[in-house]
Amino acid sequence: MLDILFEDEHLVVIDKPAGLLVHRTRQAFGENENALIQLRNQLDHWVAPVHRLDRATSGCLLFAKNEEVLPKLQGMFMERKIQKTYCCIVRGIPMEKEGLIDHPLTSERSGKLQEAQSKYKVLAETEQPFNSTGRYPTSRYSLLEIELLTGRTHQIRRHLAHIRHYILGDRKHGDNKQNHYFETHFGLEHLLLHAWQLRFAHPTSGNIISIYCTPPPHFQHIVEKLGWNLA
Protein backbone atom coordinates (compact mmCIF):
# COMPACT_ATOMS: atom_id res chain seq x y z
CA MET A 1 0.00 0.00 0.00
CA LEU A 2 1.28 3.46 -0.92
CA ASP A 3 1.97 5.98 1.84
CA ILE A 4 -0.34 8.99 1.39
CA LEU A 5 1.23 12.26 2.58
CA PHE A 6 -1.70 14.58 1.75
CA GLU A 7 -5.17 14.14 0.31
CA ASP A 8 -8.30 16.19 -0.26
CA GLU A 9 -11.09 16.12 -2.85
CA HIS A 10 -8.85 17.63 -5.55
CA LEU A 11 -5.38 16.17 -5.15
CA VAL A 12 -3.26 13.57 -3.42
CA VAL A 13 0.46 13.35 -2.70
CA ILE A 14 2.15 10.01 -2.13
CA ASP A 15 5.59 8.85 -1.08
CA LYS A 16 6.71 6.95 -4.18
CA PRO A 17 9.09 4.09 -3.32
CA ALA A 18 12.40 3.81 -5.15
CA GLY A 19 12.13 1.36 -8.04
CA LEU A 20 8.44 1.97 -8.74
CA LEU A 21 7.43 3.44 -12.10
CA VAL A 22 5.10 6.45 -12.06
CA HIS A 23 3.07 5.02 -14.95
CA ARG A 24 3.42 2.55 -17.80
CA THR A 25 6.20 3.43 -20.25
CA ARG A 26 7.53 2.12 -23.55
CA GLN A 27 10.92 1.55 -21.93
CA ALA A 28 9.34 -0.81 -19.39
CA PHE A 29 6.91 -2.54 -21.75
CA GLY A 30 5.07 -5.41 -20.12
CA GLU A 31 5.46 -4.17 -16.54
CA ASN A 32 2.08 -3.56 -14.93
CA GLU A 33 3.25 -2.39 -11.50
CA ASN A 34 3.27 1.39 -11.29
CA ALA A 35 2.22 4.17 -8.91
CA LEU A 36 -0.73 5.26 -11.05
CA ILE A 37 -2.42 1.85 -11.08
CA GLN A 38 -1.64 1.18 -7.42
CA LEU A 39 -3.07 4.51 -6.30
CA ARG A 40 -6.23 4.16 -8.41
CA ASN A 41 -6.84 0.75 -6.90
CA GLN A 42 -6.03 1.92 -3.38
CA LEU A 43 -8.38 4.93 -3.50
CA ASP A 44 -10.90 3.36 -5.88
CA HIS A 45 -10.90 6.74 -7.60
CA TRP A 46 -9.63 8.32 -10.82
CA VAL A 47 -6.19 9.94 -10.44
CA ALA A 48 -3.57 11.25 -12.87
CA PRO A 49 0.08 12.12 -12.18
CA VAL A 50 0.86 15.83 -12.44
CA HIS A 51 4.61 15.35 -12.83
CA ARG A 52 7.15 12.55 -12.97
CA LEU A 53 9.91 11.10 -10.84
CA ASP A 54 12.61 8.83 -12.19
CA ARG A 55 11.91 5.20 -11.41
CA ALA A 56 14.98 5.12 -9.16
CA THR A 57 13.97 8.26 -7.24
CA SER A 58 11.81 8.10 -4.11
CA GLY A 59 9.61 10.75 -2.54
CA CYS A 60 6.80 13.25 -3.09
CA LEU A 61 4.64 12.58 -6.14
CA LEU A 62 1.56 14.71 -6.85
CA PHE A 63 -1.64 13.40 -8.47
CA ALA A 64 -4.82 15.19 -9.50
CA LYS A 65 -8.10 13.59 -8.46
CA ASN A 66 -10.28 15.17 -11.13
CA GLU A 67 -9.92 16.32 -14.72
CA GLU A 68 -10.73 19.94 -13.87
CA VAL A 69 -7.79 20.46 -11.52
CA LEU A 70 -5.23 18.50 -13.58
CA PRO A 71 -4.47 21.25 -16.16
CA LYS A 72 -4.29 23.84 -13.37
CA LEU A 73 -1.64 21.84 -11.54
CA GLN A 74 0.25 21.09 -14.75
CA GLY A 75 0.21 24.81 -15.57
CA MET A 76 1.61 25.60 -12.13
CA PHE A 77 4.51 23.26 -12.81
CA MET A 78 5.13 24.85 -16.20
CA GLU A 79 5.08 28.33 -14.63
CA ARG A 80 7.40 27.20 -11.79
CA LYS A 81 4.76 27.89 -9.15
CA ILE A 82 5.33 24.52 -7.49
CA GLN A 83 8.57 24.32 -5.54
CA LYS A 84 10.21 20.89 -5.74
CA THR A 85 13.08 20.18 -3.36
CA TYR A 86 15.23 17.07 -3.34
CA CYS A 87 18.04 15.72 -1.21
CA CYS A 88 20.88 13.50 -2.37
CA ILE A 89 24.27 12.17 -1.27
CA VAL A 90 27.14 12.85 -3.63
CA ARG A 91 30.82 12.18 -4.06
CA GLY A 92 33.04 15.07 -2.97
CA ILE A 93 32.33 18.46 -1.41
CA PRO A 94 31.45 21.44 -3.64
CA MET A 95 33.76 24.42 -3.17
CA GLU A 96 30.76 26.78 -3.14
CA LYS A 97 28.29 25.78 -0.42
CA GLU A 98 25.37 27.19 -2.40
CA GLY A 99 25.13 27.64 -6.14
CA LEU A 100 23.22 27.49 -9.39
CA ILE A 101 23.97 24.87 -12.02
CA ASP A 102 22.95 26.53 -15.28
CA HIS A 103 23.80 23.96 -17.90
CA PRO A 104 21.62 23.12 -20.96
CA LEU A 105 20.81 19.45 -21.45
CA THR A 106 20.09 17.54 -24.63
CA SER A 107 16.58 16.11 -24.68
CA GLU A 108 16.70 12.32 -24.53
CA ARG A 109 13.63 12.25 -26.81
CA SER A 110 14.10 14.98 -29.41
CA GLY A 111 17.87 15.47 -29.26
CA LYS A 112 17.35 19.23 -28.92
CA LEU A 113 19.30 21.35 -26.43
CA GLN A 114 17.07 22.56 -23.58
CA GLU A 115 17.57 25.17 -20.85
CA ALA A 116 18.17 23.49 -17.50
CA GLN A 117 18.78 25.06 -14.09
CA SER A 118 19.21 23.52 -10.64
CA LYS A 119 19.99 25.24 -7.34
CA TYR A 120 22.00 23.35 -4.74
CA LYS A 121 22.90 23.83 -1.09
CA VAL A 122 25.34 21.78 1.01
CA LEU A 123 23.53 20.53 4.12
CA ALA A 124 26.33 18.36 5.51
CA GLU A 125 29.79 17.17 4.55
CA THR A 126 32.24 14.56 5.74
CA GLU A 127 35.66 13.05 5.12
CA GLN A 128 35.70 9.33 5.83
CA PRO A 129 38.78 7.23 6.71
CA PHE A 130 38.32 4.75 3.89
CA ASN A 131 39.46 4.53 0.29
CA SER A 132 36.49 4.02 -2.03
CA THR A 133 38.24 4.54 -5.38
CA GLY A 134 41.83 3.40 -4.93
CA ARG A 135 43.28 6.90 -5.39
CA TYR A 136 43.25 8.60 -1.97
CA PRO A 137 43.48 7.43 1.66
CA THR A 138 40.20 9.14 2.58
CA SER A 139 36.89 9.79 0.82
CA ARG A 140 34.70 12.90 0.94
CA TYR A 141 30.93 13.15 0.62
CA SER A 142 28.18 15.74 0.81
CA LEU A 143 24.49 15.79 1.59
CA LEU A 144 22.90 18.26 -0.83
CA GLU A 145 19.54 19.94 -1.09
CA ILE A 146 18.49 20.54 -4.70
CA GLU A 147 15.74 22.80 -6.00
CA LEU A 148 14.68 22.26 -9.59
CA LEU A 149 14.05 25.42 -11.61
CA THR A 150 13.37 23.41 -14.77
CA GLY A 151 12.20 19.83 -15.22
CA ARG A 152 14.36 17.93 -17.68
CA THR A 153 14.74 14.16 -17.78
CA HIS A 154 17.33 13.01 -15.21
CA GLN A 155 18.17 16.70 -14.66
CA ILE A 156 19.59 16.45 -11.15
CA ARG A 157 21.62 13.36 -11.95
CA ARG A 158 23.02 14.87 -15.15
CA HIS A 159 23.73 18.27 -13.59
CA LEU A 160 25.62 16.78 -10.66
CA ALA A 161 27.56 14.52 -13.01
CA HIS A 162 28.42 17.65 -15.01
CA ILE A 163 30.10 19.23 -11.95
CA ARG A 164 31.62 15.83 -11.04
CA HIS A 165 29.69 15.39 -7.80
CA TYR A 166 28.07 12.09 -8.75
CA ILE A 167 25.06 10.82 -6.81
CA LEU A 168 25.78 7.58 -4.96
CA GLY A 169 23.88 4.66 -6.43
CA ASP A 170 23.44 6.28 -9.84
CA ARG A 171 24.24 3.51 -12.29
CA LYS A 172 23.64 5.57 -15.43
CA HIS A 173 25.24 8.94 -14.66
CA GLY A 174 27.30 8.11 -11.56
CA ASP A 175 30.72 6.84 -10.49
CA ASN A 176 30.86 3.04 -10.79
CA LYS A 177 33.79 2.71 -8.35
CA GLN A 178 31.88 4.60 -5.66
CA ASN A 179 28.74 2.60 -6.35
CA HIS A 180 30.60 -0.70 -6.11
CA TYR A 181 32.23 0.29 -2.82
CA PHE A 182 28.93 1.28 -1.22
CA GLU A 183 27.20 -1.85 -2.54
CA THR A 184 29.95 -4.06 -1.13
CA HIS A 185 30.48 -2.37 2.24
CA PHE A 186 27.08 -0.84 3.05
CA GLY A 187 24.64 -2.91 1.02
CA LEU A 188 23.50 0.04 -1.09
CA GLU A 189 21.07 -1.02 -3.82
CA HIS A 190 19.25 2.24 -4.62
CA LEU A 191 19.92 5.69 -5.97
CA LEU A 192 20.41 8.18 -3.11
CA LEU A 193 18.10 10.82 -4.55
CA HIS A 194 14.86 11.66 -2.75
CA ALA A 195 12.10 14.19 -3.49
CA TRP A 196 11.55 15.37 0.05
CA GLN A 197 9.49 18.59 -0.23
CA LEU A 198 6.65 20.06 -2.30
CA ARG A 199 5.35 23.56 -1.67
CA PHE A 200 2.61 25.34 -3.63
CA ALA A 201 -0.63 27.28 -3.43
CA HIS A 202 -3.65 24.99 -3.60
CA PRO A 203 -5.21 25.39 -7.09
CA THR A 204 -8.74 25.94 -5.74
CA SER A 205 -8.42 27.37 -2.21
CA GLY A 206 -5.14 29.25 -2.59
CA ASN A 207 -3.93 27.88 0.75
CA ILE A 208 -0.22 27.12 0.94
CA ILE A 209 0.43 23.39 0.89
CA SER A 210 3.82 22.35 2.25
CA ILE A 211 4.59 18.65 2.29
CA TYR A 212 7.69 16.97 3.68
CA CYS A 213 8.57 13.33 2.98
CA THR A 214 11.07 11.54 5.22
CA PRO A 215 13.87 9.82 3.26
CA PRO A 216 13.46 6.03 3.04
CA PRO A 217 15.39 3.52 5.19
CA HIS A 218 18.07 2.82 2.55
CA PHE A 219 18.84 6.56 2.37
CA GLN A 220 18.88 7.03 6.15
CA HIS A 221 21.14 3.99 6.52
CA ILE A 222 23.87 5.69 4.46
CA VAL A 223 23.26 9.00 6.27
CA GLU A 224 24.01 7.23 9.55
CA LYS A 225 27.04 5.45 8.15
CA LEU A 226 28.48 8.82 7.11
CA GLY A 227 27.84 10.28 10.56
CA TRP A 228 25.02 12.70 9.77
CA ASN A 229 21.62 13.29 11.33
CA LEU A 230 18.61 14.38 9.28
CA ALA A 231 16.47 15.23 12.33
| Residues paired with residue 219 on neighbouring β-strands, in sequence order | none
Distance, CA of 211 to chain centre: 14
Contact 159, 118 (CB under 8 A): yes
- Please name the amino acid found at residue 135: R
Contact 35, 85 (CB under 8 A): no
Residue 67 to residues 11, 95, 147, 202: CA-CA distances in angstroms?
A: 11, 46, 28, 15
**Which of these is catalytic: 3, 8, 44, 54?**
54
Q: Let me know if 54 is a catalytic residue.
A: yes
Catalytic residues: 54
